[in-house]
Chains A and B, each alone.
Chain A
Amino acid sequence: TQLLEQSPQFLSIQEGENLTVYCNSSSVFSSLQWYRQEPGEGPVLLVTVVTGGEVKKLKRLTFQFGDARKDSSLHITAAQPGDTGLYLCAGSPNTGGFKTIFGAGTRLFVKA
C-alpha cells in the first residue's frame, strides 16, 4: 500500500518567516501534486511535478520533487497570513492519475 507522510502536521509561525514542509514516501510516483485547502472549501491545486529533481516556483512558493521521485518539499519564503491553510501533497502512481493518493496534510498558521 502506498503511503504519503507529511511533516510537520502543524506549523504556526510569524509573518515574514520562511518555512519548509515535507512529503515523504517509500514508493515511487510518476507525479506529485501540492494542494492548499481553506476551511469550508475544496483543495486547490497549486502545482504538479513530474521529473525527478524538478523545481517549480509559484511566487513565494518553491516546490521540489526528489531525485528518486519518492518525496517532495514545499518552501515558503516570507510567509504571509494569506498563506494560512492546509497543505496537502498527493502522489500519482505509474498506473495513472485515477489512483492518486493524499497525505494527511500540514496545517499552517501564519500570524500577523
Chain B
Amino acid sequence: DTAVSQTPKYLVTQMGNDKSIKCEQNLGHDTMYWYKQDSKKFLKIMFSYNNKELIINETVPNRFSPKSPDKAHLNLHINSLELGDSAVYFCASSQDLAGGSSPPAFFGQGTRLTVV
C-alpha cells in the first residue's frame, strides 16, 4: 500500500493550459504539504494544510490553488501554466505531535510537470 500517492506521475502540457495534480494519503495524518523541486533539486514549500485548513502559503502565485476536500486529500490546481512552472511537485504528509506539528514524514513519488 502506497502511503502518499500522487497522480499523474508525468504531465506535459502547453503554456496557458490549466491542470490539476491529485494527492492522497492513507496514513491518517493531520497535515499535508505541497513542495516544488526545481532543476537543482532544491525543495521549496508551497502550501501546508492541517485538518483541511490552509496553514502556510509561501508566496506562491495565485495561479496555484490547493484544495483539500478532506484530511486525506490535497489537490493542486494550476491555472494559466507558464514555462517556469516546469518542475517536480511533491506531496507530503505528517502527523501532529502533542507539542505541535511535525515535519513532513512521507513524500509521494512526485509529479514531473513539463510546460512547453
Interfacial residues, chain A to chain B (CB-CB below 8 A)? 31, 33, 37, 40-45, 48, 86, 88, 90, 92, 96-102, 104-105, 107
Question: Chain B's interface: helix, strand, loop or mixed, by majority?
Answer: strand
One of B43, B56, B90, B106 near A98 (C-beta < 8 A)? B56
B86 contacts the other chain (CB 8 A): no
Interface size class of B (residues with CB under 8 A): 20 to 34
A88 to B48, CA, bound (A): 20
Selected interface stretch from B60-68, B70-78, B97-105: B97-105
One of A40, A104, A105 near B109 (C-beta < 8 A)? A40
Kindly name the residue among A33, A43, A90 whose own CB sees the greatest number of chain B CB atoms within 10 A: A43
CB-CB under 8 A from B41, the residues of chain A are: 37, 86, 104-105, 107
B31 contacts the other chain (CB 8 A): yes
Q: Is the CB of A42 within 8 A of B107?
A: yes
B50 contacts the other chain (CB 8 A): yes
CB-CB under 8 A from A96, the residues of chain B are: 100-101
One of A31, A37, A90, A98 near B48 (C-beta < 8 A)? A98
Task: Please name the 9 residue pairs, one residue from A and one from B, whose CB atoms are nearest each other, closest first.
Answer: A42-B107, A97-B101, A97-B103, A100-B103, A102-B43, A96-B101, A97-B102, A98-B48, A92-B103
